[in-house]
Amino acid sequence: MSSGQNNTDPTVRVRGLTRSYREGDSVHTVIRDAKLQILPGECVALLGRSGSGKSTLLNLISGIDLPSGGEVRIGGQNLTGMTEQQRTLFRRDHIGFVFQFYNLIPTLNVMENLLLPLELKKSLDADSQRRALDILQQVGLEDRSASYPDRLSGGEQQRVAICRALLHNPLVLLADEPTGNLDRSTAESVTGVLQTLQRENGAILICVTHSDALAAAMDQRHELVDGRLIAS
């Protein structure tokens, strides 16, 4: 990472970000000239109606998709200037993901699900299991480390998914409707866990959500309207 970055520099800087698709003889623009700056430790809500481009914007910020114009910088690194392999390695090392439907591997128990990303990046060491147990204890699941996902409630599975996303200390945590599959009470509990762990790990959080309660708890709120990212 860029050694010249200090705590007042944005962790994420998005400038002039545009994403267009050709549909037959016409061009459909999903994201238009988006601008965004996020400081270390900040939480950002991305709002907008279904189909407005929120998930597309997350894919652009993470480097899964490339923009038609503009750039994304994370920790001083220009993702839009990287090769596909470089972006893949960058995501593995510096970005965590939380999804609406948990994406836990059913044939692995809780501990194995947590440690899999570290195993894939070949950074599994003697401290990894201790750190995994510590983070499970923080969310009240230390006694479920040997349980399989189908034995957990939806809220428990999402807490495991959040722990997995943060275990490798990412710079950025991207969450796409993380409470969208949960009832209101469970969603509030998971929201608290998400923000507590995010702040303790020092990651920034960018969260796509339809939840007014979750959005209200964020430092920044932006809405996608007709492809434009508008601070709200």
The structural architecture, per CATH, of the domain 12-231 is: 3-Layer(aba) Sandwich (3.40)
CA 159 to CA 58: how far, in whole Å? 21
pLDDT the model gives residue 3: 42
DSSP state of 40: T
pTM for this one? 0.86
Q: What does the pLDDT read at residue 7?
A: 54
Angstrom distance (rounded) from CA 8 to CA 215: 24
DSSP string over 105-167: -TTS-HHHHHHHHHHHTT---HHHHHHHHHHHHHTT-GGGTT--GGGS-HHHHHHHHHHHHHT
Segments making up each domain of the chain, as ranges: 12-231
Structure confidence by residue, pLDDT tens digits, 139-193: 888 899 999 999 998 888 988 988 888 888 889 999 888 777 777 777 777 777 7
pLDDT tens-digit profile of 77-87?
Answer: 999 999 999 99
Residue 2 pLDDT > 80: no
Convert the pLDDT of each residue in 46-83 to its tens digit.
998 888 889 899 999 999 999 999 999 999 999 999 99
